[in-house]
Structures are given as C-alpha cells and as structure tokens.
Amino acid sequence: MLYLDNAATTPVRPDVLEAMMPYLTSEFGNPSSHHTVGERASAALADARGVVSRALGMRRGDVVFTSGGTESNNLAIKGIAIAAQLQRDAGHIVTSPIEHESVLESVRYLQRVHGFVVTELPVDRYGLIDPGDLDEALREMTALVTIGYANNEIGTVQDVAALAAVARAHAVPIHIDAVQAAGWLDLSAADLGIDAISIAGHKLGAPKGTGALAVRGRVPLEPLLHGGGQERGRRSGTESVAGAVALATALRAAETDREQRAARVAALRDAFIARVLGLVPSARLTGHPEHRLPGTASFTFAGTSGEAVLLELERRGVVSSSGSACAAGSDEPSHVLVAIGTDPAVAQTAVRFTLPRDLESPLDAVADAVAASVAAVAPRA
C-alpha cells in the first residue's frame, strides 16, 4: 500500500518517538513543579521551545505550545482580534474564502458573537490573493489579517511576504496558517514579515495533538484558556512535555536539508502531474502550476465521482484523498474549488495526492493506477 495522503497526517518518525518516550515514562514531571523531577521536565520544555522559536524566527517567549493547528489558529485569530477589540475597539478582520475550516469558523465566531465585520479577499483561478486587494480592504479598525501560507487542498502558495508588507504598511498584524507549509517552505517570521504563525506536529512526523503558535510579543493576545497561567498566561493548563519534545524533534528534522528535499520531491511531483495529464483526458490540475507545495498534486476528473476514483485507487494499492480530511464525508463540494471558480459538480470529482518528504522514486505506477481507476468509473459511451 502506497500512502499519498500526507497532507491529512503523517506517520510518527522513529526518532520522534524515541525523543518523547522518556517524558511519557520515567521523566513524567510537571514542568511547573519546583523540585528536581519538575525542573527536568521544565528544562526539556525550554529546550523544545528554543528549537521551535529558531525554526519560526521568533523569540522563545513568543512560542505557545498547543494541541495542533486548529487550536493554534483559534488562539491566534480569536486571541489577537478580541484583544484588539478590547484595547482599541477594532472590529474588522480580513481573510480569504479558501482557508482551512479552523480559520473560517474562528472568523465566523467573531462575526456572530463579537460583532466583527469580515472581509473575504477574492482569489484568482489558482487560489492566489492579490496584495492590491488586501491594501484596499484594510481599515483603521482592522484587528487582524489571517491567511493560509499554502492551501491544504490545492497546494497553492501565497506570496506571504508581499501580503505582510501591505499589512505592515497599515500597522495591522498578520497571522499565517503554516500547517501545510511547515517542512516544505521557509517559516522564518523575520523573512516573511509576519506577526503570528501556526504549525501542527502531525504533518511533520510528530503525534497528533501537538502544535505551536508563535505570536510576536508586541501583539496583544487574549487567552482562550484560563487557569494556572502557563505559557506566559496565554494558554493555561499543564503542558505536554512529551508533545513539545516531539514537535521540536520533528520540526528540526523537517528543517534539515529542507530546500534540497523539497526540490527533489517537486521534480517527482511535476513528472507525476505530466503523466496523469497525458494519460487521462478529463484530468485538470487544480491550484497554481508553479507556486504550489512541492508535495501536492490535485486534480479534478470531470464525469466521474471523486470518491469512486479513490476507492478504485485503494483497490490498486494507492491511498489518497478528495481534499481536506476535516471535510471528509461531506456531501458539499469543496469550498476551495468553488471559490476558485470550479463548477460544483466538477469539484466533487477532486482527488488530491500529497507526497512524503522522503520520496525518492518516480510515481509512474501511481499515474497508471490513476488512469485505470478513472477509466473504471467513467460512464460508458
């Protein structure tokens, strides 16, 4: 079985499991406890925070360990926006229609409960946002801009530095959902010019339930969880030391030779895309042909059922998906594909292949399986 759904989750790396195991067994201390057992846990947590902060180009104190991408996005969006509303009566937030559900639902919460006005920036047929549209959307009372670095369904990569420059010119903080970008793209906040960034461990070879949010210290952040004041008061609750160590270990590994590995996988991806397009007349690539994640190849196959193609592929030993795992089982067409102008009926034929970072071999056999699977479910003339 060949697993090509790495955007949904990845297997835990052996080195990550080895690194975290002591903090699940012998080194079980609470990092807030003032004795030797707790102090050892606190030291491990501090070391992990240092690894993550360096990878994200932030200070140690900017990093908040979370349970994953959804919590990180919720804390960034609600926390920054509510703090801005409380401090300066800001009541406007800017996003796009192709964001992950954790972003869109957080924004809708702010709109519904706190009265925020929401602007969704238009995207082109590839899913790209024009920085000029962001410039026109920003107001004096804008609390936050929140945009995905790379789309989880179609793989399109935004020009984050250009968008951040616009936000900075208006003195508006910008948050980037980098859950899919981590391990593939530069995450340095200094290089990107951003104020907050979310990542999730299970996309990098750490366990599910691990993640981090980094927010620049100058950006006010209202906590969502209240209690003992851990994580500098921004996320109360006893920290998962094992989870933090796992995330740091996975992130360090993902950053090692990242550019070379990304280039190798991108070349294999491009060859796979070309073969699928050559073999399957109905195939259409979704997302930007160049500005896309190295490991993402997503298609529609008009006249088929995406779910039926997936079942045929699995029968042939290939595991992939129709898009976001969070929306799996929904009868609705992908909101991302509809936003970029795909006919809703065609959007329901989508199939997404997301490749592992250690991919070494061409995917010719997978492309052949795609052609056979589409042919098997296509209506007979």
Just list the catalytic residues: 326
Give me 375's structure tokens: 């042919």
- Where residue 329 falls (left for φ over 0; alpha for ψ -120 to 50; beta otherwise) is left
Supply φ then ψ for residue 166, to 5 degrees: -65, -50
Q: CA nearest 224: which of 49, 64, 24?
A: 64
Per-residue HEC secondary structure of 91-111 comes to: CEEEECCCCCHHHHHHHHHHH
Note the residue count of the chain: 381
How many whole angstroms separate alpha carbon 12 and alpha carbon 246?
9
CB proximity list for 41: less than 8 A, separation 6 or greater: 23, 27, 28, 29, 30, 31, 33, 241
User: Coil, helix or strand for 176?
Assistant: strand
Q: CA nearest 95: which of 84, 83, 105?
A: 105
Place of tokens 């925070």: 49
Judge whether 366 and 354 are in contact, CB under 8 Å.
no
How many whole angstroms separate alpha carbon 351 and alpha carbon 311?
11
How many whole angstroms separate alpha carbon 138 and alpha carbon 143?
9
Cα torsion through 381, 315, 323, 76, rounded to 10: 180
Burial string for 22-58 (b: 16+ CB within 10 Å, else e) reads ebeeebebebeeeeeebebbbebbeebbebbbbbbbb
- Where residue 176 falls (left for φ over 0; alpha for ψ -120 to 50; beta otherwise) is beta
Within 186-293, residue ranges assigned H as helices are: 189-192, 241-255, 258-279
Report the helix count and the strand count for the chain, using DSSP H and E. Answer: 13, 12
